[in-house]
Amino acid sequence: MCCCGATGAASERAFAFHLLIGPSMPSGAVCPKAVLEPMMCDVYTYLSRDPFTSISLLKYLQSYPQDTESFHVRGEEGEAVLVLLQVAASPYDRETYPGAAFVCFIASDGPNLTRRLLDHVPCGVSVVFKLAAEADRAVVAEGFDLRRTTSFLSFTGSFGAPSLQTDPRLPMTDDPLPQAWSLLEARGYQRDWLMPLLASGHAFVVEDSHGDDVASVCFAFQNHGHIWEVGGLSTRPDRRRQGHAARVVRSAIAELARRGVQGRYVVEETNRPSLQLAQAIGLQHVLTLTHFLASAPCAGEPAVGTIS
Protein backbone atom coordinates (compact mmCIF):
# COMPACT_ATOMS: atom_id res chain seq x y z
CA MET A 1 0.00 0.00 0.00
CA CYS A 2 1.49 3.31 -0.99
CA CYS A 3 1.16 6.57 0.86
CA CYS A 4 -1.57 8.68 -0.60
CA GLY A 5 -2.29 10.72 1.97
CA ALA A 6 0.68 5.86 27.32
CA THR A 7 0.69 4.21 28.50
CA GLY A 8 -0.46 0.76 27.50
CA ALA A 9 1.52 -2.29 26.46
CA ALA A 10 5.28 -1.87 26.22
CA SER A 11 5.25 -2.67 22.52
CA GLU A 12 2.91 0.25 21.79
CA ARG A 13 4.94 2.62 23.93
CA ALA A 14 8.13 1.52 22.20
CA PHE A 15 6.57 2.34 18.83
CA ALA A 16 6.79 6.03 19.64
CA PHE A 17 10.57 5.93 19.46
CA HIS A 18 10.43 5.29 15.73
CA LEU A 19 8.68 8.60 15.09
CA LEU A 20 10.15 10.94 12.53
CA ILE A 21 10.05 14.18 14.46
CA GLY A 22 8.18 16.63 12.29
CA PRO A 23 7.60 20.36 12.45
CA SER A 24 4.56 21.83 14.10
CA MET A 25 1.89 22.62 11.56
CA PRO A 26 -0.70 25.11 12.79
CA SER A 27 -3.65 25.98 10.58
CA GLY A 28 -2.44 27.58 7.37
CA ALA A 29 1.10 26.27 7.74
CA VAL A 30 3.10 24.98 4.81
CA CYS A 31 3.24 21.19 4.45
CA PRO A 32 6.44 19.35 5.46
CA LYS A 33 8.99 19.22 2.66
CA ALA A 34 8.62 15.45 2.45
CA VAL A 35 4.93 15.85 1.61
CA LEU A 36 4.73 16.47 -2.13
CA GLU A 37 1.22 15.39 -3.14
CA PRO A 38 -1.48 18.08 -2.89
CA MET A 39 -3.89 15.66 -1.24
CA MET A 40 -1.36 14.87 1.46
CA CYS A 41 -0.98 18.58 2.12
CA ASP A 42 -4.74 18.74 2.61
CA VAL A 43 -4.54 15.80 5.02
CA TYR A 44 -1.74 17.31 7.11
CA THR A 45 -3.27 20.78 7.12
CA TYR A 46 -6.62 19.46 8.33
CA LEU A 47 -5.16 17.19 11.02
CA SER A 48 -2.85 19.94 12.24
CA ARG A 49 -5.78 22.18 13.13
CA ASP A 50 -6.18 20.07 16.28
CA PRO A 51 -2.96 18.07 16.56
CA PHE A 52 -3.64 16.83 20.09
CA THR A 53 -6.86 15.12 19.01
CA SER A 54 -5.29 13.94 15.74
CA ILE A 55 -1.93 12.91 17.17
CA SER A 56 -2.42 9.19 16.43
CA LEU A 57 -3.17 9.86 12.77
CA LEU A 58 -0.24 12.25 12.43
CA LYS A 59 2.32 10.00 14.08
CA TYR A 60 1.39 6.91 12.05
CA LEU A 61 1.45 8.87 8.80
CA GLN A 62 4.94 10.13 9.62
CA SER A 63 6.28 6.88 11.04
CA TYR A 64 4.99 4.42 8.44
CA PRO A 65 4.45 6.28 5.15
CA GLN A 66 4.78 3.07 3.13
CA ASP A 67 2.26 1.23 5.32
CA THR A 68 -0.47 3.85 5.55
CA GLU A 69 -3.03 5.21 3.15
CA SER A 70 -5.06 8.35 3.75
CA PHE A 71 -8.28 9.72 2.30
CA HIS A 72 -9.53 13.32 2.53
CA VAL A 73 -13.03 14.58 1.72
CA ARG A 74 -14.78 17.94 1.83
CA GLY A 75 -18.45 18.82 2.02
CA GLU A 76 -21.01 21.15 3.54
CA GLU A 77 -20.13 19.86 7.02
CA GLY A 78 -16.44 20.65 6.56
CA GLU A 79 -13.66 18.12 6.08
CA ALA A 80 -12.71 14.62 7.17
CA VAL A 81 -9.72 12.28 6.98
CA LEU A 82 -9.41 8.51 7.19
CA VAL A 83 -6.04 6.85 7.78
CA LEU A 84 -5.55 3.14 7.15
CA LEU A 85 -2.54 1.45 8.73
CA GLN A 86 -1.42 -2.08 7.93
CA VAL A 87 -1.51 -4.03 11.20
CA ALA A 88 1.68 -5.85 10.23
CA ALA A 89 3.60 -2.56 10.46
CA SER A 90 2.67 -1.77 14.08
CA PRO A 91 4.24 -3.88 16.86
CA TYR A 92 1.41 -3.17 19.31
CA ASP A 93 -1.38 -3.89 16.84
CA ARG A 94 0.38 -6.94 15.43
CA GLU A 95 0.58 -8.40 18.94
CA THR A 96 -2.85 -7.28 20.16
CA TYR A 97 -4.90 -7.85 17.00
CA PRO A 98 -3.10 -10.67 15.14
CA GLY A 99 -6.17 -11.53 13.07
CA ALA A 100 -6.76 -7.99 11.81
CA ALA A 101 -5.50 -6.61 8.53
CA PHE A 102 -5.88 -2.85 9.03
CA VAL A 103 -6.22 -0.19 11.72
CA CYS A 104 -8.61 2.61 10.79
CA PHE A 105 -8.44 6.14 12.27
CA ILE A 106 -11.04 8.83 11.52
CA ALA A 107 -11.09 12.59 12.09
CA SER A 108 -14.30 14.15 10.83
CA ASP A 109 -16.40 17.30 11.00
CA GLY A 110 -19.71 15.52 10.35
CA PRO A 111 -21.50 12.18 9.96
CA ASN A 112 -22.06 12.46 6.20
CA LEU A 113 -18.34 12.97 5.68
CA THR A 114 -17.61 9.94 7.84
CA ARG A 115 -19.99 7.83 5.75
CA ARG A 116 -18.15 8.83 2.59
CA LEU A 117 -14.83 7.84 4.12
CA LEU A 118 -16.05 4.37 5.08
CA ASP A 119 -16.30 3.49 1.40
CA HIS A 120 -12.48 3.27 1.47
CA VAL A 121 -12.30 0.65 4.25
CA PRO A 122 -11.27 -2.68 2.67
CA CYS A 123 -14.00 -5.30 2.78
CA GLY A 124 -13.86 -8.96 3.71
CA VAL A 125 -11.12 -8.50 6.34
CA SER A 126 -10.93 -7.79 10.04
CA VAL A 127 -10.38 -4.12 10.88
CA VAL A 128 -9.54 -2.28 14.12
CA PHE A 129 -11.28 1.08 14.41
CA LYS A 130 -9.63 3.51 16.82
CA LEU A 131 -12.14 6.29 17.35
CA ALA A 132 -12.11 9.42 19.48
CA ALA A 133 -15.62 10.72 18.73
CA GLU A 134 -18.91 9.08 19.67
CA ALA A 135 -20.44 10.54 16.51
CA ASP A 136 -17.95 8.61 14.40
CA ARG A 137 -18.62 5.40 16.32
CA ALA A 138 -22.35 5.75 15.67
CA VAL A 139 -21.79 6.13 11.93
CA VAL A 140 -19.32 3.24 11.74
CA ALA A 141 -21.78 1.04 13.63
CA GLU A 142 -24.32 1.54 10.84
CA GLY A 143 -22.25 -0.69 8.59
CA PHE A 144 -19.96 -2.68 10.86
CA ASP A 145 -20.44 -5.10 13.73
CA LEU A 146 -18.26 -3.45 16.37
CA ARG A 147 -16.75 -5.20 19.39
CA ARG A 148 -15.18 -2.85 21.91
CA THR A 149 -11.77 -4.04 23.13
CA THR A 150 -10.12 -1.24 25.13
CA SER A 151 -9.49 2.49 25.29
CA PHE A 152 -6.60 4.83 25.99
CA LEU A 153 -7.14 8.09 27.88
CA SER A 154 -5.02 11.17 27.15
CA PHE A 155 -4.36 13.76 29.85
CA THR A 156 -2.59 17.10 29.86
CA GLY A 157 -1.75 19.82 32.37
CA SER A 158 -1.04 23.54 32.69
CA PHE A 159 2.05 25.12 34.18
CA GLY A 160 1.24 27.22 37.22
CA ALA A 161 -1.39 24.91 38.68
CA PRO A 162 -0.62 24.28 42.37
CA SER A 163 -0.47 20.53 41.78
CA LEU A 164 1.81 20.85 38.74
CA GLN A 165 5.12 22.31 39.78
CA THR A 166 8.57 21.07 38.87
CA ASP A 167 10.30 19.56 41.90
CA PRO A 168 13.76 21.20 42.05
CA ARG A 169 15.10 18.00 43.59
CA LEU A 170 14.30 16.10 40.39
CA PRO A 171 16.64 17.27 37.62
CA MET A 172 15.86 16.79 33.94
CA THR A 173 18.65 14.80 32.30
CA ASP A 174 19.72 13.32 28.99
CA ASP A 175 22.09 10.92 30.77
CA PRO A 176 20.05 8.59 33.01
CA LEU A 177 21.69 6.75 35.90
CA PRO A 178 22.39 3.02 35.44
CA GLN A 179 19.56 2.09 37.82
CA ALA A 180 17.16 4.29 35.84
CA TRP A 181 18.11 2.44 32.66
CA SER A 182 17.46 -0.84 34.46
CA LEU A 183 13.97 0.28 35.42
CA LEU A 184 13.21 1.43 31.87
CA GLU A 185 14.60 -1.71 30.28
CA ALA A 186 12.52 -3.85 32.63
CA ARG A 187 9.45 -2.15 31.12
CA GLY A 188 10.53 -2.95 27.56
CA TYR A 189 12.37 0.27 26.66
CA GLN A 190 15.76 -0.23 25.04
CA ARG A 191 18.64 2.24 25.02
CA ASP A 192 18.95 2.23 21.24
CA TRP A 193 15.35 3.54 21.06
CA LEU A 194 15.69 6.33 23.59
CA MET A 195 19.32 7.44 23.36
CA PRO A 196 19.03 9.08 19.90
CA LEU A 197 16.08 11.16 21.12
CA LEU A 198 17.97 12.19 24.24
CA ALA A 199 21.07 13.08 22.22
CA SER A 200 19.08 15.19 19.74
CA GLY A 201 17.16 17.10 22.41
CA HIS A 202 13.84 15.48 21.51
CA ALA A 203 13.54 13.79 24.90
CA PHE A 204 14.57 14.10 28.54
CA VAL A 205 14.44 11.84 31.60
CA VAL A 206 13.20 12.66 35.10
CA GLU A 207 14.59 10.62 38.00
CA ASP A 208 13.53 10.55 41.64
CA SER A 209 16.84 9.52 43.11
CA HIS A 210 19.12 9.86 46.11
CA GLY A 211 22.67 9.50 44.92
CA ASP A 212 22.74 6.46 42.65
CA ASP A 213 19.58 5.02 44.21
CA VAL A 214 16.66 5.60 41.80
CA ALA A 215 13.17 5.14 43.21
CA SER A 216 11.19 6.11 40.10
CA VAL A 217 11.81 7.31 36.56
CA CYS A 218 9.91 8.55 33.50
CA PHE A 219 10.79 10.36 30.31
CA ALA A 220 9.20 12.86 27.94
CA PHE A 221 9.65 12.78 24.17
CA GLN A 222 8.42 14.79 21.21
CA ASN A 223 5.36 13.22 19.63
CA HIS A 224 4.66 15.72 16.88
CA GLY A 225 5.52 19.40 16.69
CA HIS A 226 4.68 21.05 20.01
CA ILE A 227 3.13 17.92 21.53
CA TRP A 228 5.34 15.88 23.84
CA GLU A 229 4.37 12.65 25.56
CA VAL A 230 5.30 11.53 29.06
CA GLY A 231 5.90 7.79 29.23
CA GLY A 232 8.14 5.05 30.54
CA LEU A 233 6.96 5.48 34.12
CA SER A 234 8.65 2.85 36.26
CA THR A 235 8.98 2.63 40.03
CA ARG A 236 10.92 0.10 42.08
CA PRO A 237 8.51 -2.36 43.71
CA ASP A 238 9.83 -1.57 47.20
CA ARG A 239 9.31 2.17 46.67
CA ARG A 240 5.74 2.14 45.37
CA ARG A 241 2.86 3.99 47.05
CA GLN A 242 5.29 6.54 48.47
CA GLY A 243 4.63 9.37 46.01
CA HIS A 244 7.69 8.83 43.80
CA ALA A 245 5.76 8.13 40.59
CA ALA A 246 3.59 11.21 41.07
CA ARG A 247 6.68 13.38 41.57
CA VAL A 248 8.40 12.37 38.35
CA VAL A 249 5.27 12.62 36.17
CA ARG A 250 4.27 15.94 37.73
CA SER A 251 7.76 17.35 37.17
CA ALA A 252 7.85 16.16 33.55
CA ILE A 253 4.46 17.70 32.72
CA ALA A 254 5.39 20.95 34.47
CA GLU A 255 8.72 21.15 32.64
CA LEU A 256 7.00 20.72 29.29
CA ALA A 257 4.51 23.46 30.10
CA ARG A 258 7.40 25.70 31.21
CA ARG A 259 9.01 25.13 27.80
CA GLY A 260 5.81 26.20 26.06
CA VAL A 261 4.92 22.78 24.66
CA GLN A 262 1.92 20.59 25.43
CA GLY A 263 2.43 17.54 27.59
CA ARG A 264 0.47 14.34 26.94
CA TYR A 265 0.09 11.49 29.41
CA VAL A 266 -1.58 8.37 27.98
CA VAL A 267 -3.09 5.59 30.11
CA GLU A 268 -4.95 2.43 29.15
CA GLU A 269 -8.34 2.19 30.85
CA THR A 270 -7.32 -0.94 32.76
CA ASN A 271 -4.33 0.78 34.42
CA ARG A 272 -6.06 1.99 37.57
CA PRO A 273 -2.90 3.16 39.41
CA SER A 274 -1.88 5.45 36.53
CA LEU A 275 -5.42 6.79 36.16
CA GLN A 276 -5.47 7.59 39.88
CA LEU A 277 -2.06 9.23 39.56
CA ALA A 278 -3.29 11.50 36.74
CA GLN A 279 -6.24 12.58 38.85
CA ALA A 280 -4.13 13.05 41.97
CA ILE A 281 -1.67 15.47 40.33
CA GLY A 282 -4.41 17.51 38.65
CA LEU A 283 -4.11 16.46 35.00
CA GLN A 284 -7.09 17.15 32.75
CA HIS A 285 -8.65 14.36 30.73
CA VAL A 286 -8.74 15.60 27.12
CA LEU A 287 -9.32 12.63 24.86
CA THR A 288 -10.31 8.95 24.88
CA LEU A 289 -9.31 6.79 21.92
CA THR A 290 -11.50 3.66 21.94
CA HIS A 291 -10.61 0.49 20.05
CA PHE A 292 -13.23 -1.60 18.25
CA LEU A 293 -12.62 -4.83 16.40
CA ALA A 294 -14.85 -5.29 13.36
CA SER A 295 -15.37 -7.44 10.31
CA ALA A 296 -15.65 -5.36 7.18
CA PRO A 297 -18.58 -6.62 5.03
CA CYS A 298 -18.35 -6.49 1.27
CA ALA A 299 -21.01 -4.93 -0.96
CA GLY A 300 -24.37 -6.59 -0.42
CA GLU A 301 -23.35 -8.19 2.89
CA PRO A 302 -25.22 -6.79 5.91
CA ALA A 303 -23.39 -5.98 9.12
CA VAL A 304 -25.04 -8.19 11.71
CA GLY A 305 -24.62 -8.43 15.46
CA THR A 306 -24.72 -6.04 18.34
CA ILE A 307 -22.36 -3.40 19.62
CA SER A 308 -20.74 -4.33 22.90
Q: Are residues 76 and 203 in the same domain?
A: no
For residue 225, is pLDDT > 80?
yes
Which of the residue ranges 63-72, 127-136, 297-306 would you say has the lowest mean pLDDT? 297-306
For residue 14, is pLDDT > 60?
no
**Residue 302: inside a domain:** no
**Residue pLDDT, tens place only, 128-164:** 999 999 999 999 999 999 999 999 999 998 645 545 5
Q: Are residues 84 and 133 in the same domain?
A: yes
In contact, 80 and 120? CB cutoff 8 Å? no
Alpha helices in 129-271 (DSSP H): 134-140, 178-186, 191-200, 244-258
State residue 296's pLDDT score. Answer: 73
**Beta bridge partner(s), residue 75:** 78
Predicted TM-score (pTM) of the model is: 0.81
Q: Are residues 166 and 145 in the same domain?
A: no
Q: Are residues 213 and 147 in the same domain?
A: no
At 200, which CATH number? 3.40.630.30
Q: Are residues 96 and 191 in the same domain?
A: no
Question: Torsion over CA of 12, 16, 19 and 25, rounded to 10 degrees?
Answer: 110
pLDDT tier at 18, thresholds 50, 70, 90: very low
- For the segment 90-118, the average pLDDT, to the nearest whole number, is 96
Which of the residue ranges 118-122, 166-170, 220-224, 290-294 would you say has the lowest mean pLDDT? 166-170
State residue 190's pLDDT score. Answer: 85
At 47, which CATH number? 3.40.630
Q: Are residues 110 and 209 in the same domain?
A: no
Amino acid identity for residue 87 in this structure: V
| pLDDT mean across residues, the chain | 84
In 3-state terms the chain splits into helix, strand, coil percentages (rounded to 5) of 30, 30, 40
Q: Are residues 187 and 72 in the same domain?
A: no
Total tally of structural domains belonging to the chain: 2
Reported as half-sphere exposure (CB side, CA atoms, 13 A), residue 255 has a value of 24
**Residue 122: inside a domain:** yes
pLDDT tier at 23, thresholds 50, 70, 90: very low
Percent of the chain with pLDDT over 90: 64
* Domain containing residue 184: 158-282
For residue 25, is pLDDT > 80?
no
For residue 2, is pLDDT > 60?
no
pLDDT tier at 171, thresholds 50, 70, 90: confident
Q: Are residues 21 and 102 in the same domain?
A: yes
Q: Write 188-194 long-range contacts (CB < 8 A, 24+).
A: 188/10, 188/11, 188/13, 188/14, 189/10, 189/13, 189/14, 189/17, 189/232, 190/14, 193/14, 193/17, 193/18, 194/17, 194/219, 194/221, 194/232
Who wins on pLDDT, 13 or 41?
A: 41
pLDDT tier at 57, thresholds 50, 70, 90: very high
State residue 165's pLDDT score. Answer: 60
For residue 15, is pLDDT > 60?
no
Q: Are residues 255 and 125 in the same domain?
A: no
Question: Torsion over CA of 193, 194, 200 and 206, rounded to 10 degrees?
Answer: 170
**Residue pLDDT, tens place only, 187-214:** 888 899 899 999 999 999 999 998 889 9
Who wins on pLDDT, 173 or 4?
A: 173
